[in-house]
Chain A
Amino acid sequence: MNEDTKSKVLKIKKLQNDFYAFLSTAIKNRNKKIQEILKREDDKRIKDILNNLK
C-alpha cells in the first residue's frame, strides 16, 4: 500500500471513529436531558402528593 493510499485510509478511519465518538456524546447528552425531565416530573408529582396530604 503506497503512502498516499495509507494516508487516505487512515483519514477515513479517523472520520469514522470521530463519528462514533460524536454519536456516543449525543446519546449521553440526550439521555441526561431525558433524565432531567423525568426527575423534574417526579419531583413535581411528589410535591403535589405532599401538598394534598396537608
Chain B
Amino acid sequence: MEENKKNEHIVPKESLGDSGMEDLETSVENVAGNASIEINQEAARVLEDSDKLESEFNNPEIRAVLNETAAEIDKELKLVDSQIGEEGTNVDVNNQEALDNRNKNIEGMIESYRKDKERNSRFIEENTRALENLKDFLSVLVKQSNHYSESGGYTWQLVEPTQKLEALKSARSQLYSQLNADGNSFQQIQDNDQYKEYTKQLHEIPVGYEEIGEISGVNLDSAEVTIKNLNGAKDLGGVFTLEDALKKSMVLYEDANKKIDTRIDELEKGDF
C-alpha cells in the first residue's frame, strides 16, 4: 500500500494563478494539448499502480474495488479530456499561429501513440517467439512473478516443476543416497559417471540469459523455473498454463493497439 499512499497526494503541476501567463507565447491549443497529455499520463500511472495492487493481493473483492475505481477514473478522464479538447480546439481559424500550434500538438500526440503501439507490437513479437522457443513447456502452470525482468517487463514463474526437472532431481538424489550408503566420499560421488550425467542434464535446462523466451534460472531446492525477458500483460492475475498466459498477454496488447489505432484515426480526422 506504500505506493498508493504516494498517490494520495497528487499535486497539481501548475497552480490556477496566472503567474507566468504573460510570458507564455503559448496558445490555448498548446495549453490544452499539454493538459491532455498530462492528465492521461497521470491516470495511466494510477491505473498501473492498480494493476500492481491486483497482483499483490489476488483477492476477488479487492479486484472488484480496483475495477470499479478504474472504471470511474476512465469515465472522468474521457469527460475532462473532451472538455479540455473543446476549449483547445475552438480556435480562431484566421489565426495561422494558433492553427500551426494545434497541428503541432496533434502530431506530437500521434507520435506518442505510435511509440506505444511499437512497444506493444514488440511484446507481441516476443511472445510469438516465446511460444516457439518454449514449446516443450507450454502446458506447465505459471504465475506472474512480482519481479520485473531486466528488460522492464514482467517475468513468468513456473509454479510447478516440469516433469523432466523433477525426474532428474529425483534420480540424482536417489543415486547420491545410494553412493553415500555404499561408502563413497563426497568427491567420489561427484566423480561418478552417472551422477555427472544427471548434473550435466540438469544444467542443460537453463540455457542462457540472452535469448527472449529462454529459461534463465532453475532453483533445484524449490524446483522453480524462472523465465526472463518475457513481457506479460500487467493486468493478468492468477495461474495459467504458460501457453494461455502468453496468448492472453498478446490479446491484451492487440486490444490496446486497436484502441490506439482508433485514437490516431480520430486525431488525424480532427475528431476530438
Q: Which residues of A contact B (CB under 8 A)?
A: 1, 5-6, 8-24, 26-31, 33-35, 37-38
Contacts and interface: CB of A to CB of B under 8 A. Distances in A.
Contacts of B32: 12
Contacts of A1: 21-22, 24
Contacts of B5: 31
Interface of B: 1, 4-5, 7-14, 16, 18, 21-22, 24, 26-28, 31-32, 35, 38-39, 42-43, 46, 50, 53, 57, 59, 61-62, 65-66, 69, 72-73, 76-77, 80, 83-84, 87-88, 90
Contacts of A13: 14, 16, 31, 35
Chain A at the B interface: SS class:
helix
A38 B65 CA distance: 12
* Dominant secondary structure at the B interface: helix
Contacts of A38: 62
Given A1-B24, A15-B84, 6 more contacts: A12-B35, A19-B42, A24-B8, A30-B65, A31-B4, A34-B57
B65 A37 contact: yes
Given A11-B87, A24-B8, A24-B9, A29 B69 contact: yes
B80 A5 contact: no
Given A6-B21, A26-B72, A34-B62, A14 B16 contact: yes
B42 A23 contact: yes
A30 to B, nearest CB: 4
19 contacts: A8-B87, A12-B35, A12-B84, A12-B87, A15-B83, A17-B14, A17-B16, A18-B80, A19-B42, A19-B80, A23-B7, A23-B10, A24-B8, A24-B9, A24-B10, A26-B76, A27-B4, A28-B8, A30-B65
